[in-house]
Amino acid sequence: MFTSRNRGSRSRLIGDIYDVLRAASPTHLHLRSRLTKAVIVTLLVDLVGSTLMFLVEHDAPASQMHSPWDAFYWTTSQLVTISSTMPNPVTAFGQLICLVINIYAITVVSTLAGMFSAFFYSRSAEHRRS
């Protein structure tokens, strides 16, 4: 059950998200800009990776990527969880793509952690100044 304190925290969280979306301060604008870039680049990596995986794997024996959807599902699963319910690629080039996608995903998660850390540090400094 939610107490009034929890409702206040939830509304503050929603307000903070709204502040990032509307760039309420230079710190919010900086975070929004970085997040936007990360999302756009990740979508491009997903589309390019999916296309390459389909082209490389769809005719390979023992591959389970027979359609563009299979390749997209596998690539997106790799980006989000570094794993998939589908077997790993069977071709050497497919395995190389898999490694690149995994390295990219780990790098983005680490970068996002740094972005949020810098944001919270900057917001704390803003609050101390005011």
Number of domains in the chain: 1
Identify the CATH number of the domain in which residue 39 sits.
Answer: 1.10.287.70
Tens digit of pLDDT per residue, the chain (130 long)? 444 445 566 677 788 788 888 888 888 888 889 999 999 999 999 999 999 999 999 999 989 999 999 999 999 999 998 877 888 899 999 999 999 999 999 999 999 999 989 888 888 887 788 7
Residue 10 lies in a domain: no
Residue 115 lies in a domain: yes
Residue 12 lies in a domain: no
Q: What is the pTM of this model?
A: 0.81
Instruction: Name residue, tokens 């080039």.
Output: 93
Residue 69 lies in a domain: yes
Could you give the CA distance from residue 20 to residue 97 in angstroms, rounded to a whole number? 34
Tokens of 67: 């359609």
Range of the domain at 61: 26-129
Residue 13 lies in a domain: no
